[in-house]
Amino acid sequence: MAKKDTSKTNVTARAALKAMQSICRFCGQKPEVVRVLTPAGRALMVRKCCVSAGIAA
């Protein structure tokens, strides 16, 4: 079921919801996630948006 405050015909509310979801919760930029392999062979998901903002090491 759809949320009460948004409807399929309310384009403004749908656009605001989509814009709110496409912001990184840590740095506030557009999320950009990449998969990086460690020297041990493990795969890690790294947020490039946070690295470029200087938040993550």
11 part of a folded domain: no
35 part of a folded domain: yes
Residue type, 51: V
For residue 30, the enclosing domain spans 25-57
Positions in the chain short of pLDDT 50:
none
34 part of a folded domain: yes
How far, in Å, CA of 17 to CA of 22, rounded? 9
50 part of a folded domain: yes
CA dihedral 23, 36, 55, 28 (to 10 degrees): 0
4 part of a folded domain: no
The vertex-52 CA angle with 28 and 46, nearest 5°, equals 85
Lookup result for tokens 């506030």: 28
7 part of a folded domain: no
Q: What is the pLDDT of residue 40?
A: 94
Number of compact structural domains in the chain: 1
